[in-house]
Copies of this chain bind each other. A is one copy, B any other.
């Protein structure tokens, strides 16, 4: 916005304050809780095939989350993190993209990878940090990444991916690609300085990036009313001069629609869009967390009734695209596959000792090579102390 333009606000001669109430933020809703489409609603581009793909992704996601939490409880896995209740934001959002679009996620977006077809083996190898992990066993479980699927490797420091997404998208634009970057983050992460940096830079440099805030009400134990006092995250988009839309994040068709429209706009206008998906983190923050200490059962129950998967299912059934027997069969199938995959992955070797020093630089420095050689000599002296690697050192 040009300086002269915004200066042409109304003149007043007594103090008039503006505040959160000065901006009305509509919420896009397409699917009603009973699975019917709201009268007058504009459906997203969707056909039976896409609908089934989305729904199957939901089913897989739920089974995966459930099985992995169980594995963690059994002590087979060190850590896991479910996305229970907010699957529509990630699966619906990804369904609104093209495969060449880059996704830069926070960590609770396994739905995006599921939709894009990340293999079960890839999931497992990452979580069991074995030598087949694409990330070479270097990050905690759930820090997935896939170059093939244009899904940037997740990094734990929150919000760092937000300005990165702006830069990534700017690069896509300069190359003239038909591609955008979609950047996921939580309403908690949106408090970081990097959020401010990323949104402002995208606005100023006209980067085709879709910022997608999963506003799920909590950042670990911190409820969103101790996180900010504005009207959600959407109200901030206004301040950056970014086109902004709030959607019911548990309405997968609304999420899909918003993302499709946002993508269109971002590609054509080379400008960013902010989507705020209103949802709820139904589960614990992670397997290290227990939410009973900081929120009520009633609150959880309320949101339990607002299940995005169930809502879509009703719509699918009304369309005769889905039924219970299909669902049960699929669930069983996924469950078995996942159990089998866990068993395979947990037996695969840890990465070789050489992987300690690779990828720090493109080529290990002399110092690193020396440190590795010293380590190998050491391991040979004490093989019993380093059972994962001792047997494989030449």
Q: Which residues of A are at the interface with B, using a C-beta cutoff of 8 A? A: 1-3, 6-7, 9-20, 22-30, 38-42, 191-197, 200, 203-204, 217, 223-232, 234-246, 257-258, 261, 273, 278
Contacts and interface: CB of A to CB of B under 8 A. Distances in A.
A307 to B, nearest CB: 17
Contacts of A30: 13
Contacts of A226: 204
A19 B237 contact: yes
Contact of A17 (B7, B194, B243): B243
Contact of A196 (B25, B26, B195, B238): B195
A28 B12 CA distance: 5
Contact of A230 (B25, B239, B258): B239
A26 B6 contact: no
Given A194-B193, A203-B229, A228-B200, A243 B19 contact: yes
20 contacts: A1-B231, A3-B217, A6-B20, A13-B29, A13-B30, A13-B42, A18-B25, A18-B243, A22-B23, A22-B238, A23-B23, A191-B197, A191-B200, A192-B193, A204-B227, A204-B229, A228-B241, A229-B242, A230-B238, A238-B239
Contacts of A261: 15
Which are the 10 A-B pairs with shortest beta-carbon distances? Answer: A193-B193, A229-B241, A196-B196, A236-B239, A13-B41, A230-B241, A203-B229, A12-B26, A14-B42, A10-B26
Given A13-B30, A18-B238, A20-B241, A204 B228 contact: yes
B246 A9 contact: yes
Contact of A235 (B25, B191, B223, B238): B238
A16 B238 contact: no
A267 to B, nearest CB: 16
**For A38, A42, A240, which residue has the most chain B Cβ atoms within 10 angstroms?**
A240
A13 B217 CA distance: 23
Contact of A9 (B27, B195, B237, B244): B27
Contacts of A27: 7, 9-12
A129 to B, nearest CB: 32
Nearest to A197: B193
Nearest to A20: B241
Contact of A203 (B18, B41, B228): B228
A362 to B, nearest CB: 31
Given A193-B194, A228-B203, A236-B236, A15 B1 contact: no
Contact of A1 (B193, B203, B229): B229
A237 B238 CA distance: 10
> Which of A2, A26, A242, A246 has the most CB atoms of chain B within a 10 A radius of its CB?
A26
Contacts of A3: 217, 223-225
A40 B26 contact: no
Contact of A231 (B6, B11, B245): B6
A364 B193 CA distance: 35
